Structure 1
Amino acid sequence: MAERNEQLERLAYEYQLLQAQAQLLAQNLELLTLGRNEFQAVKQTLEELKKVEDEKPEILVPIGAGSFLKGMIVDKNSAIVSVGSGYATEKSLDDAIGYLDARIKEYDEAIRKTQEALAKLEGQLQELAQKAQKLQQEAAMRFSVKE
């Protein structure tokens, strides 16, 4: 009986650890998805900018709290894009779009791997739950047989 309780406690501990890992992966997946969506939005904006016929189109520049300033794009043929670690570089629109595409693909791969890891953890959690349930059923059967 004591051995069975130890097994159940060990399974419960493992379950909690795996659950915590799954929560971290789910949070990571959410952050990756947000990052990917941001890059996708920038890419779409640049693609739409290429279609604009005005040489210096007017835009609204967000300044926070739902407020904007009117502005003008003085060079619609290039964009300054972040390349990480606080650095940015000026690229032609086509190069910027290509760069963003590559980053989106990196995000897609990271999202795919995270989803796979999460699915694996969920399978392990299910296995542990089944083991615990089996141990509890065995204990209940032994208890009722002894009566």
Structure 2
Amino acid sequence: MSQKNKIIEFQILNQEIQNLQQQLQNIDNSIQELHILKNGLEELESVKEENEILIPLGQGIFTKGNIKNKNELITNIGSNIMVEKNLKETRDMVKKNILELSMALEKTQEEINKNVEKIQELQKELE
């Protein structure tokens, strides 16, 4: 492979690593959000029905509300399709999502590591 092609491959791999690192960050953020949700579901389990709670609307804004039935949760299952699930089903779904994202995180990290190895080899060849 010519020197010019090695430089081009080096740049492509570098860009790919940056893209993968961004994906890694996005996956990690999603996992953190799911852990917060999981903790919220665990707290919901201990709340008595008809107790007043603060309901987050987003960006630090809350409204007061009462829990009518903590075992009826409306869940977005994708493509803005909402279904009713009980607390256990919802917790299981969140745990499954955490597991799937953790596997994707691991796979993405492995891909980054492979590309770093390739870059190191190219650096040696370019010296």
Other structure's SS at 1:13 match? helix
- For 1:24, the aligned partner's letter is N
- Is 2:121 aligned against 1:127? yes
Q: Which runs of 5+ in 2 are unaligned?
A: none
Other structure's SS at 2:2 match? helix
Aligned residues: 127
TM-score for the superposition, normalised by structure 1: 0.79
- For 2:91, the aligned partner's letter is I
Is contact 2:31-2:98 (8 Å) kept? yes
- Is 2:3 aligned against 1:8? yes
Report which of the two has the higher share of helix. 1
Percent identity of equivalent pairs = 35
What residue number does 1:38 align with? 33
TM-score for the superposition, normalised by structure 2: 0.90
Other structure's SS at 1:32 match? helix
What residue number does 1:141 align with? none
What residue number does 1:105 align with? 99
- For 1:11, the aligned partner's letter is K
Distance 2:114 2:107 in 1: 11
Larger Rg: 1
Is contact 2:55-2:64 (8 Å) kept? yes
What residue number does 2:20 align with? 25
Q: Which runs of 5+ in 1 are unaligned?
A: 1-5, 134-147
